[in-house]
Amino acid sequence: MGYAYYPGCSLHGTAKEYDMSSRACLDFLGIEYRELPDWSCCGASSAHSVDHTLAVSLPARNLILAEQMNLPLMTPCTACYSRLRGAHHALRSDPGLARKVLTALGSEYKGRYEPLSILDVLYQYGPEAVGEKVTKKLKELKVACYYGCLLLRPPEYADFDDPENPGKMERLVETTGARAVDWPHRTECCGASLSLSDTKLVVSLATFIVDMAARHGAECIVTACPMCQANLDMRQRGRTKLPVYYVTELLGLAFGLEPKRLGLTTHMVNAMGLLRAKQLA
């Protein structure tokens, strides 16, 4: 058993901390995974804006590769998660489109396994079981869990949790001993997909979200999305700057792993300062 690991393009680039920390956590917990060999881009965030069929066929290639390995496909990236699940859903519910896509790829797809997010995998492992592995409690760290869009919407296929009132990430994070603050904007969109094309707009969205987190007492934001992380990290212009961590970075820290191995040293907003101040790193 185990999982086929699909990092996606961002995790090989701007979000390399997420790749590092994800692998570190999986290794530490003893969850088996193999990187999907010769994986290709899932098309996010362009294909679905250009061609409905291409938006399915690009992720489909990866779904098929994983099915050939007979493993469920798992990805830390939420954009990939959304595209992979969207394609999986379309291939199973739209026979006409499925025929077109699968003929082009010269392969078949049964869709035995649903593509998963790394959070699904950690959740399958069990929050309690994760908690048992924690060696360094992140006590007094006040965290705002930020879900963003792609894990929760559209609920038709991206259904990691309740789209309006999710709570799974909080449960995971609280196993580390950190306190998840209750704040209302954890599903609000940060506008990451417009980060390059409409930067001004995105700055105002990111700043607002970070401000709201700060107003509810958070000292940092934790997310599972490389786009959200990059966007909130780069685009926040508020008075209080909050570091933005990946879930896997905080978990890794709580497992007692080296901050450097988790990529904590390469954030835009200093990620180490807070941790040092709290004597957590």
Kindly indicate which of the ranges 20-28, 56-64, 117-125, 248-256 contains the residues binding other proteins, using the contact rule CB under 8 A.
Answer: 56-64
Specify the DSSP class assigned to residue 49: H
How far, in whole angstroms, is CA 1 from its chain's centroid?
22
Shortest distance (Å) from residue 111 CB to other proteins? 19
Alpha helices in the chain (DSSP H): 16-29, 47-50, 52-69, 78-93, 95-105, 118-125, 127-132, 168-174, 199-215, 226-235, 247-254, 272-277
Which residues between 191 and 210 bind other proteins (CB under 8 A)? 191-194, 196-199, 201, 205
- If binding is defined by CB under 8 A, does position 169 make contact with other proteins? no
- If binding is defined by CB under 8 A, does position 48 make contact with other proteins? yes
- If binding is defined by CB under 8 A, does position 237 make contact with other proteins? no
- If binding is defined by CB under 8 A, does position 266 make contact with other proteins? yes
Q: Which residue has the tokens 């009132």?
A: 165
Specify the DSSP class assigned to residue 146: E
Indicate which single residue of 34, 40, 70, 108 sits in contact with other proteins (rule: CB under 8 A).
40
CA distances from residue 246 to 56, 220, 221, 229 in whole angstroms, order as listed: 28, 11, 8, 7
Indicate which single residue of 2, 28, 29, 53 sits in contact with other proteins (rule: CB under 8 A).
53
Angle ∠(162,202,151) on CA atoms, nearest 5: 20
- If binding is defined by CB under 8 A, does position 104 make contact with other proteins? yes
Judged by CB under 8 A, the number of residues near other proteins is: 58
- If binding is defined by CB under 8 A, does position 165 make contact with other proteins? yes
Q: Which two tokens stand for residue 175?
A: 């196993």
CA distance 147 to 224: 7
- If binding is defined by CB under 8 A, does position 43 make contact with other proteins? yes
Indicate which single residue of 32, 46, 240, 276 sits in contact with other proteins (rule: CB under 8 A).
46
- If binding is defined by CB under 8 A, does position 259 make contact with other proteins? no
3-state SS class at 259 = coil
- If binding is defined by CB under 8 A, does position 271 make contact with other proteins? no
Bond prior to 154 in cis (omega within 30° of 0): yes
Q: Which residues bind other proteins (CB under 8 A)?
A: 9-10, 12-16, 38-41, 43, 45-54, 57-58, 61, 104-105, 148-149, 152-155, 158, 162-165, 184-185, 187-194, 196-199, 201, 205, 215, 234, 266, 268
